[in-house]
């Protein structure tokens, strides 16, 4: 199985984040999230670890707003202009525009508030290069399917599913799964299945008015959990996209049995849609001991979830999203993807 990985992610190492309620904390989104997975993959004979192809900006701009991409490229440089010591700092906004106030200011801090959804996606010196390579990993995984592979893996860091057309947030800067799915949509209809603990609000926004890409997210109820303002069961698409988006919000404490029941609902909709390709936004933060989650999925649960999805027998690219238990993220991710090895 082809595993697409870039070491560029290591240089994106945010020095802090601001948690709910304004608490400053060390970031949970750290390089070891991927490095712990890679160290286990290197021990597997079936894992072919490959550097991503460099695609340029065209497939990125097919999903994201040009002004937003320009902001990501230049934000840290403009903010630190004239400063000498900025190794351990990162840009976050001080203000956010209220509803209806959507002018884009010249000030880089004003732009930060415009383009950044929250305080958990700080921009450092190496954030944009890492995000770009992360997106290239997802695109490379998609291209492997076009070339005939039955399954591939994109070790994406930073993750992507909270990034919208013109905003970052929730550790996410470029929407890797959306970029891969949009690329695959040039060849066939595509389904995106998001199994991260948090709702894939960015993915939902990007495809909400499209009928060629089915988007499904199984996640913690946003009435109680981040991202709070999207991911509700009555959000089903708009215009041509009506009926092509499905949210399945679940309560805190959801266990293996309840999760698989919800998954069966999602898989039935995918089978009915009959896509040519499947993109799985694979969040490991549904694990029972994840510090940012309140589900109770075990390692056996990951095996069952992976097996059920693999049994669709659709060409599938698995795109890494969240997961913050550094002790178990590697084992959980391998347990999940090993269900697809026979299909690769």
pLDDT tens digit at each of 344 positions of the chain: 999 999 999 999 998 888 877 788 889 999 999 999 999 999 999 999 999 999 999 999 999 999 999 999 999 999 998 676 666 689 999 899 987 777 899 999 999 999 999 999 999 999 999 999 999 999 999 999 999 999 999 999 999 999 999 999 999 999 999 999 999 999 999 999 999 999 999 999 999 999 999 999 999 999 999 999 999 999 999 999 999 999 999 999 999 999 999 999 999 999 999 999 999 999 999 999 999 999 999 999 999 999 999 999 999 999 999 999 999 999 999 999 999 997 66
For 180, half-sphere exposure in the C-beta direction (CA atoms, 13 angstrom radius) is: 43
Under 8 Å CB-to-CB from 159, ≥6 apart: which residues? 29, 134, 171, 172, 176, 283, 320, 321, 322
How far is residue 39's CA from residue 17's CA, in Å, rounded to a whole number?
A: 26
Residue 289 pLDDT: 98
For 83-133, the DSSP string reads -S--TT--B--S--PPTT-----SSHHHHHHHHB-SSS--B-TTHHHHHHH
- 2-343 placed in CATH 3.40.50.300: no
245 is catalytic: no
Residue with tokens 């770009």: 132
- Domain chopping of the chain, boundaries: 2-343
Query: Smallest Cα–Cα separation from 142: which of 132, 151, 129, 133?
Result: 151
How far is residue 158's CA from residue 174's CA, in Å, rounded to a whole number?
A: 8
Could you count the other beta carbons within 10 Å of the beta carbon of residue 240? 12
Taking the alpha carbons at both ends of the chain, their separation in whole angstroms is: 5
Its pTM surpasses 0.85: yes
Residue 116 dihedral angles phi and psi, to the nearest 5° = -110, 125
How far is residue 154's CA from residue 49's CA, in Å, rounded to a whole number?
A: 10
Residue 81 pLDDT: 86
Helix (H), strand (E) at residue 214: strand 213-220
Of the candidates 9, 12, 162, 219, the residue annotated as catalytic is 162
**Is the CB of residue 322 less than 8 Å from the CB of residue 169?**
no
Is omega for the bond preceding 203 within 30 degrees of 0, making it cis?
no
Residue 87 pLDDT: 64
Question: SS3 of 52, please?
Answer: coil
Residue 178 pLDDT: 99
Under 8 Å CB-to-CB from 289, ≥6 apart: which residues? 325, 328
Residue 262 pLDDT: 98
Residue 214's Cβ-count burial label (10 Å; 0-12, 13-18, 19+) is buried
């Amino acid at each position: 199985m082809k595993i697409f990985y870039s070491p560029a992610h290591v240089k994106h190492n945010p020095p802090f984040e601001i948690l709910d309620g304004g608490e400053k904390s060390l970031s949970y989104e750290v390089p070891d999230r991927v490095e712990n997975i890679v160290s286990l993959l290197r021990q597997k004979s079936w894992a072919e670890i490959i550097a991503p192809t460099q695609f340029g900006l065209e497939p990125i701009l097919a999903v994201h707003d040009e002004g937003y991409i320009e902001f990501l490229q230049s934000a840290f440089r403009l903010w630190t202009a004239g400063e000498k010591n900025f190794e351990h700092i990162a840009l976050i906004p001080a203000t956010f525009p209220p509803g209806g106030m959507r002018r884009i200011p010249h000030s880089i801090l004003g732009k930060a508030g415009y383009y950044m959804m929250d305080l958990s996606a700080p921009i450092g010196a190496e954030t944009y290069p890492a995000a770009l390579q992360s997106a290239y990993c997802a695109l490379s995984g998609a291209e492997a399917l076009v070339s005939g592979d039955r399954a591939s893996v994109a070790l994406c860091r930073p993750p992507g599913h909270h990034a919208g057309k013109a905003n970052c947030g929730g550790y996410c800067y470029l929407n890797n799964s959306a970029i891969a799915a949009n690329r695959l949509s040039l060849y066939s209809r595509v389904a995106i299945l998001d199994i991260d603990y948090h709702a894939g609000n960015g993915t939902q926004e990007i495809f909400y008015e499209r009928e060629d890409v089915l988007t499904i997210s199984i996640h913690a109820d946003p009435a109680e959990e981040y991202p709070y303002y999207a991911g509700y069961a009555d959000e089903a698409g708009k215009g041509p996209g009506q009926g092509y988006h499905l949210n399945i919000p679940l309560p805190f404490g959801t266990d293996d049995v309840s999760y698989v029941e919800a998954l069966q609902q999602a898989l039935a909709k995918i089978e009915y849609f009959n896509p040519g390709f499947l993109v799985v936004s694979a969040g490991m933060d549904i694990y029972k001991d994840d510090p940012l989650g309140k589900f109770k999925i075990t390692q056996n649960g990951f095996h069952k979830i992976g097996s059920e999805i693999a049994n669709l027998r659709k060409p599938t690219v698995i795109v890494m999203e969240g997961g913050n238990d550094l002790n178990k993220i590697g084992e959980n991710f391998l347990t999940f993807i090993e269900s697809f090895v026979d299909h690769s």
